Amino acid sequence: MKYHAPTNQFTVSAEELRRATHAMRWAIKHVRLGHKLDPKGCDHPGAMTHPDFAEAGILDAAIALGIDLGSDRPGKLDVSDAG
Q: Please determine, for residue 64, whether its predicted confidence score (pLDDT) is greater than 80.
A: yes
d(CA 41, CA 22): 17
Residue-wise pLDDT tens digits, 36-62: 999 999 887 789 999 999 999 999 999
- Using one digit for the tens of pLDDT, what is the confidence trace for 5-47? 999 998 889 999 999 999 999 999 999 999 999 999 988 778 9
Whole-structure pTM value: 0.87
- At 68 the pLDDT is 96
**Cβ(65)–Cβ(72) below 8 Å:** no
Rounded distance between C-alpha atoms, residue 58 and residue 23, angstroms: 10
**Side chain identity at 59, as an amino acid letter?**
L
> What does the alpha-carbon distance between residue 57 and residue 61 come to, in Å, rounded to a whole number?
6
* Bridge partners, 11 (sequence order): 2
